[in-house]
Chains A and B, each alone.
Chain A
């Protein structure tokens, strides 16, 4: 097992290298550059700026320089936010996104799994229809509707929660976290609940559950001891990529609730042709994704004894 883990960790290096390389070149293919504006800069100034960021060198040399910096842990200067480098931009915003994402995922898992199981057990009753209707809403209503709607109801009308802000900024209370967490978790709840329901239904129909019933086991023992492990496998594989997505931030939720997270950089950096920031967030996201997938495989082997890694 430890041999396998080491093998997998080493295997991440080429994966990430390919991602860095591809994104480095792809962003530079797009027309325009970081210093193009409404008004064209005088040729001399432009050349000076480009020289400052080594953009006058041949592309391959820039790539080599960038790669070397990345290996040292330096993601380079931001071309847009001149006072910041990419490292500080990411590491100031990422913790907010991680905390928001973890809380939202926890909420989604607690409600998704419990309601999904209930729905599977009480198939075709109210306890099935209501959670599943909610899940259908979660999947079909976009976040930019859910967010403002919650703000309107709970902040404007009922006045029990703040409209926006972020408790980690120090100025506001923890209550600011409630609405963004709820909005963000909604869609994930929908996925988890539907996955749990269908996989639980499938597991409950399997032969070994019939065996457990034939042995005289109690319903609750059958669910939690016999069916749970098998039913959780699809959830676990869903969680890997979903987790990587949720903790790297959502631009919509962060904009609507003024959460200073990483999400906005995914979009803004592309608009600004902020090459280093784009590649920076891509590196952060893909590193998390690769690690999550690795963790999923480990958890899989813990859940399912048939899977062993050598």
Chain B
């Protein structure tokens, strides 16, 4: 278990809000998300499809397609500087250099028209003062580092000549070729088959240790989180509902949603049992024009009266464990919230 100190915070996301304008109304994809990333930390962002995990990370890089998307509030502090306020040029200096990103689908994330060498060298020469030849050597070294056999030959090939897993390795090599401090991995293994998944995750873990790169791992696979992450944020309907160190989260989940997620993972000791696998009933809510209630209450088994009316406050249960759920609020808080509505 790694210990992280406050001065090691490299990325500090504060009250981030990203909305999309749609014909049906304002879609609040990310609505007040806050979390911190420390040097060398692996932080997991879990939740169902559409809960805002990817948009959160695209917002960090200011890659949200605009229009229709817009970052309407909050701060993303990288080493104390707000990325959301940077000029285009300053932003480009951070993208791919300090913060890199790898995406879900390695098949389409590499440019099919350009050689791997072109794509890697342009990244390196863009951010570092090196000659093309040096950049090429560095690229070959990185390809070797991520486990691509005979990289000096493979570098001159096109993406379609690589398998899915190999392409994701290339993406990782490219993302880390400028010694990025933060690697955002947006469901890096979703499009890959299971054996390759394990290899890619192992590789990300190895890179995290070797280069002390912080990793934000977006996934809907709790198994991945358990194996990789130091801390986990559980997202639901554009908000973080629970934040805790990984082992704590699995041992004593507080939010009913987290409980449900963990219960939905098939366990090895359940093998042979005839019972059906647990699943959370219902669908995640439409985040357009969400009422001010707890968005999870229609699917929650522990919901109380106030859940239907107000969004719960975030409670710090332990210094490193917080949760947004009325079950952990005091009687007075509930009473006050109900009074305010009336």
Chain B residues 112-127 with CB under 8 Å of chain A are 112-115, 122-123, 126-127
* A210 and B103 contact, Cβ closer than 8 Å, known pairs A215-B96, A305-B160: yes
Whether B126 lies near A217 (C-beta < 8 A) is yes
* A304 and B113 contact, Cβ closer than 8 Å, known pairs A205-B65, A210-B63, A215-B126: yes
User: Can you list 9 A-B contacts (CB < 8 A)?
Assistant: A206-B108, A207-B105, A208-B110, A208-B111, A215-B123, A215-B174, A216-B92, A230-B112, A304-B113
Interface size classification for chain A: 20 to 34
Instruction: Flag whether B61 is at the interface (Cβ < 8 A).
Output: yes
Whether A213 lies near B95 (C-beta < 8 A) is yes
Whether A214 lies near B108 (C-beta < 8 A) is no
A212 CA to B114 CA in the complex, in Å?
12
A230 CA to B160 CA in the complex, in Å?
15
Chain A residues 185-217 with CB under 8 Å of chain B are 205-208, 210-217
A221 CA to B158 CA in the complex, in Å?
19
* Further pairs besides A210-B63, A225-B122, A226-B114: 10, Cβ < 8 Å: A211-B101, A211-B110, A211-B111, A215-B95, A215-B96, A216-B127, A217-B96, A217-B122, A303-B113, A305-B113
Residues of A within 8 A of B111 (CB): 208, 211-212, 226
A218 CA to B125 CA in the complex, in Å?
13
Instruction: Flag whether B226 is at the interface (Cβ < 8 A).
Output: no
A305 CA to B117 CA in the complex, in Å?
14
Chain B residues 68-96 with CB under 8 Å of chain A are 91-96
Instruction: Flag whether B264 is at the interface (Cβ < 8 A).
Output: no
* Per-position binary interface string of chain B over residues 195-227, scored 1 when its CB falls under 8 Å from any chain A CB and 0 otherwise: 000000000000000000000000000000000
Residues of A within 8 A of B103 (CB): 207, 210-211
Residue of B nearest to A205 (CB): B65
Instruction: Flag whether B97 is at the interface (Cβ < 8 A).
Output: yes
* A71, chain B: closest CB distance, angstroms: 42
Q: Which of A208, A212, A213, A221 contacts B108 (CB 8 A)?
A: A208
* A168, chain B: closest CB distance, angstroms: 40
* A216 and B109 contact, Cβ closer than 8 Å, known pairs A205-B65, A210-B103: no
A206 CA to B65 CA in the complex, in Å?
11
Instruction: Flag whether B231 is at the interface (Cβ < 8 A).
Output: no
Residues of A within 8 A of B108 (CB): 206-208
Residue of B nearest to A213 (CB): B63
Whether B160 lies near A306 (C-beta < 8 A) is yes
Instruction: Flag whether B100 is at the interface (Cβ < 8 A).
Output: yes
Q: Which of B95, B105, B110, B112 contacts A216 (CB 8 A)?
A: B95
* B114, chain A: closest CB distance, angstroms: 7
* A198, chain B: closest CB distance, angstroms: 17
Residues of B within 8 A of A230 (CB): 112-113
Residue of A nearest to B158 (CB): A305
A210 CA to B101 CA in the complex, in Å?
10
A213 CA to B109 CA in the complex, in Å?
11
Whether B95 lies near A214 (C-beta < 8 A) is yes
Residues of B within 8 A of A225 (CB): 114, 122
* A299, chain B: closest CB distance, angstroms: 13
A305 CA to B160 CA in the complex, in Å?
8
* A214 and B63 contact, Cβ closer than 8 Å, known pairs A226-B111, A305-B113, A306-B158: yes
Residue of A nearest to B124 (CB): A215
A206 CA to B96 CA in the complex, in Å?
18
The 8 closest A-B pairs by CB, nearest first: A215-B96, A216-B95, A216-B96, A207-B108, A229-B113, A208-B111, A216-B92, A305-B158
A210 CA to B105 CA in the complex, in Å?
12
A35 CA to B202 CA in the complex, in Å?
85
A226 CA to B94 CA in the complex, in Å?
20
A212 CA to B126 CA in the complex, in Å?
12
* A306 and B93 contact, Cβ closer than 8 Å, known pairs A210-B63, A214-B101, A217-B122: no
